[in-house]
Homo-oligomer: A and B are copies of this chain.
Amino acid sequence: MTSKKVTIEDVARHAGVGIATVSRAINNGEGISAKTRTRILQTIEELSFIPNTSAQSLKVRLTNQIALAVPDIRNAIIPDIAWAVEQAAKAHGYRVVQINTAGNARAELEVVRDIKKLHVDGLIIMPLAYPKTLPELINKAGVPISVINYGKQLDSALQADVVCLSMLEGQLVMEHLKQIGRSRIAYAGTQKDVIEDRYLAYERALDRVDASLVYFGDDFSLQTGTRAADYFHGLAHMPDAVYAVNDMVAIGLVNRFKELGVRVPEEVAVVGVDNNQWTTISSPQISSVSIMGSEVARLAAELLLKRIREQIIGDYEKVQFEPRLIVRESSVSLKRSSMQDN
């Protein structure tokens, strides 16, 4: 709209140099004297020249963009993750293109299969559905990939950097609930294979699973928590504790229990996972496990960017963070609340 496009050639002509020299000036290249550089920089300023990114990308085969594929930016800790990734990327001069897979298996496959179409130098993916062929596609993607993994144990031969929790969240929760003397422990979450490890930890912690104490909803929403509470409340013999797959569900549970006149934590203890900001706002405050979303995301981004920058192939990093249990009112009654395990 504003006038005609000004190119590197215009700059060269104005400054009385060759285009190669202008290019060198732009990219802090070698072999250019200080004085011509400043002169060129100055005429660039005057003409308000902006290098054409497409032409640059075409030549250098790098776009300075990475893709971030998450299930749904609206959920739980994902905004934190998106934020952390964007910050890290920006610090390295990279832009982030957002992709929501809706936790849809096909969408997850598609994004890695078609990653080449996306015009990016790398991909950070946080899977939810973990479709069978995902690892295979990752291995042949031809583009550096970092995986943010909250769901499921992955093949250690996966050709991608993987950052995850140590998968001990569930164990932490279950140990805590047993330790405070609960014996009829229920589970509330989504389909068992969605965040598999959270559910598997539940099974592992019990001698035998009472199927009536397991509630699988459609998602991780507040509503799932609400429905789970209704379900448990309708049972002939209610649980005395619920391990919720995340804080949203935990809050939904607690809230509905309150409405139903069930006392938390006296009659039912509830513990969530994520340790999001609402845990301290809910009443009672929610015991939860901190899963360090920002740290995990930042590291995933750093690893990816390093791999891109240094053109590393192979030698993939597998990093685990340790979750921390934060005990609050929903699992321990007031006098002991707000203390924190280590």
Contacts and interface: CB of A to CB of B under 8 A. Distances in A.
A43 interface: no
Given A73-B86, A98-B98, A1 B142 contact: yes
A50 B86 contact: no
A79 interface: yes
A2 B75 CA distance: 35
A98 B68 CA distance: 10
B82 A117 contact: no
B83 A116 contact: no
A98 B142 CA distance: 24
A292 to B, nearest CB: 15
A53 B255 contact: no
Interface stretch (A55-63, A165-173, A238-246, A298-306): A55-63
Chain A interface: which size bin? 35 or more
B222 A281 contact: yes
B58 A55 contact: yes
Contacts of A118: 95
Contact of A50 (B99, B117, B222, B283): B117
A143 B1 CA distance: 8
A18 to B, nearest CB: 21
Given A52-B58, A57-B54, A117-B53, A79 B83 contact: no
A69 B198 CA distance: 35
Interface string A34-75: 000000000000000010111101100001010010001111
Contacts of A87: 100
Contacts of A50: 116-117
Contacts of A1: 142-143, 313
Given A1-B142, A281-B222, A119 B83 contact: no
Contacts of A23: none
Contacts of A252: 281
Contact of A74 (B63, B80, B96, B100): B80
A88 to B, nearest CB: 12
A95 B95 contact: no
B65 A54 contact: no
Given A54-B57, A63-B54, A73-B79, A222 B277 contact: yes
Contacts of A140: 2
A157 B65 CA distance: 34
A97 B95 contact: yes
A50 B118 CA distance: 10
A57 B65 CA distance: 15
A142 B2 contact: yes
A181 B72 CA distance: 42
Contact of A283 (B75, B82, B278, B283): B283
A99 B87 CA distance: 9
A50 B115 CA distance: 10
Interface in A104-125: 116-119
